[in-house]
């Protein structure tokens, strides 16, 4: 097993497109690190650079302490799992699993042992003598995972491995990947554009946008302390509510928006420099607490409810504050009706503040 190091790694494609601006970070030995971001943010490029399938335009990449900038993919001790798991249709599952090892000249008994281990881990024992056409999509993806497992590589690279599966299979295969990671203690780099996959699988997550690392942190830190507006908006569904306004000190701090004034009920020292200046206040939908349901919560804003969406274990209230849209997540027993006015409060420590110019988090 091995750590992966990036020191000022850059990628410029021959057409001049900068797919990755200087990235420096380390993936620890045995860590499951997720690369997440919207389409075109550069996550696949970065994964392919670790694999050696894309050249490195600048900086230094190491695997297990060895500089690999010019090392061919086959000599990097990595295994990659793609979203379109190309299995050999004329081979059985057993042959598909063992094929890469056979090419490498591994002894037959060793191949049999590793194939048996992988198929046991992935629950493929019953399917070993079937051809891919006789397997379900989920089983095929497990064979693709198995082909990486039998290689016993230093680093596993997974590129959206679940995106061809239906919702239920995605969930069970996701759990399976987490289980395999725990059992093997292997270094894994996992690319996805799905924030739920990123949050549930990643020990740490790199959020990318426009070829730039926005934040590298644990899932909870990304959620609770997003470093900028991009991360705040990207993680969390429904997304964080954002209010643009001017910070004032009157009777305590407040934000004056076009829609009215929101009393903040906080006196954080980090905000002093923003008094009488533009500011963006963020609050997650679950942190808007209806005054009627929460004893002791002071009213801070009053919103007009447009649409009520029950989703089973909770209810989304789609609302307006003047012309500004906002969403609250409330408990399933809520009886709020469309067209009504609801008073909300919040705990001041759950607020997020951003600088409108730099988009960076203030506190």
Binding site for ligand ATP (CB under 6 A): 13, 15, 17, 19, 37, 39-45, 193
Q: Tell me the closest approach of the beta carbon of residue 51 to ligand ATP, in angstroms.
A: 12
Q: Tell me the closest approach of the beta carbon of residue 39 to ligand ATP, in angstroms.
A: 3
Nearer to ligand ATP, 43 or 151 (CB): 43
Judge contact between 302 and 341, C-beta under 8 A.
Answer: yes
Nearer to ligand ATP, 44 or 290 (CB): 44
In terms of Cβ atoms closer than 10 Å to its own Cβ (0-12, 13-18, 19+), residue 213 is buried
* Residue whose beta carbon is closest to ligand ATP: 44
Q: Tell me the closest approach of the beta carbon of residue 208 to ligand ATP, in angstroms.
A: 7
Q: Tell me the closest approach of the beta carbon of residue 165 to ligand ATP, in angstroms.
A: 16
Nearer to ligand ATP, 42 or 98 (CB): 42
Where are the alpha helices (H) located in 16-134, listed in sequence order?
A: 43-51, 93-103, 108-122
Give the span between the Cα atoms of 20 and 40, in whole angstroms.
Answer: 11
Q: Tell me the closest approach of the beta carbon of residue 37 to ligand ATP, in angstroms.
A: 6
Nearer to ligand ATP, 57 or 257 (CB): 57
Nearer to ligand ATP, 15 or 323 (CB): 15
Give the span between the Cα atoms of 237 and 235, in whole angstroms.
Answer: 7
Give the span between the Cα atoms of 167 and 145, in whole angstroms.
Answer: 18
For the CA atoms of 213, 216, 222, 227, the dihedral, rounded to the nearest 10 degrees, stands at -50
Q: Which of 73, 39, 40, 67 is nearest to 54 (CA)?
A: 73
Nearer to ligand ATP, 13 or 88 (CB): 13
Give the span between the Cα atoms of 305 and 336, in whole angstroms.
Answer: 8
Q: Tell me the closest approach of the beta carbon of residue 47 to ligand ATP, in angstroms.
A: 8
Nearer to ligand ATP, 42 or 132 (CB): 42
Give the span between the Cα atoms of 245 and 249, in whole angstroms.
Answer: 13
Q: Tell me the closest approach of the beta carbon of residue 317 to ligand ATP, in angstroms.
A: 32
DSSP 350: G
Using the Cα atoms of residue 163, residue 169, residue 174 and residue 180 in order, give the sign of their dihedral. negative
In terms of Cβ atoms closer than 10 Å to its own Cβ (0-12, 13-18, 19+), residue 179 is exposed
């Amino acid at each position: 097993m091995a750590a992966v190091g990036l020191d000022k790694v850059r990628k410029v494609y021959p057409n001049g497109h900068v797919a990755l601006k200087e990235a420096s970070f380390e993936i620890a030995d045995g860590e499951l690190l997720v690369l997440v971001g919207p389409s075109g943010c550069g996550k696949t490029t970065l994964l392919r650079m670790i694999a050696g399938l894309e050249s490195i335009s600048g900086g230094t990449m190491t695997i297990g302490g060895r500089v690999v900038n010019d090392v061919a993919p086959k000599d990097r001790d990595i295994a990659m799992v793609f979203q379109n798991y190309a299995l050999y249709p004329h081979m059985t599952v057993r042959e598909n699993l063992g094929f890469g090892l056979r090419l490498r000249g591994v002894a037959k008994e060793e191949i049999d042992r590793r194939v048996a281990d992988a198929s046991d881990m992935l629950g493929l024992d019953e399917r070993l003598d079937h051809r891919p056409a006789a397997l379900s999509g989920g089983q095929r993806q497990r064979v693709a995972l198995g082909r990486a497992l039998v290689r016993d590589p230093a680093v596993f690279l997974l590129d959206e491995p679940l995106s061809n599966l239906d919702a239920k299979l995605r969930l069970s295969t996701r759990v399976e990947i987490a289980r395999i990671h725990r059992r093997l203690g292997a270094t894994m780099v996992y690319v996805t554009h799905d924030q739920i996959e990123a949050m549930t699988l990643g020990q740490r997550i790199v959020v990318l946008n426009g070829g730039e690392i926005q934040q590298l942190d644990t899932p909870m830190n990304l959620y609770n302390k997003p470093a900028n507006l991009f991360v705040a908006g990207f993680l969390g569904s429904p997304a964080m509510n954002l209010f643009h306004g001017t910070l004032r000190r009157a009777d305590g701090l407040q934000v004056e928006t076009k829609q009215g004034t929101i009393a903040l009920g906080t006196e954080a020292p980090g905000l002093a420099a923003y008094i009488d200046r533009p500011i963006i206040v963020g609050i997650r939908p679950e942190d808007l607490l209806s005054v009627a349901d929460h004893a002791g919560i002071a009213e801070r804003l009053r919103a007009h409810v447009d649409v009520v969406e029950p989703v089973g274990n909770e209810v989304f209230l789609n609302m307006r504050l003047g012309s500004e849209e906002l969403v609250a997540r409330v408990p399933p027993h809520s009886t709020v009706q469309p067209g009504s006015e609801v008073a909300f409060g919040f705990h001041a420590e759950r607020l997020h503040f951003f600088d409108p110019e730099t988009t960076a988090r203030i506190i």
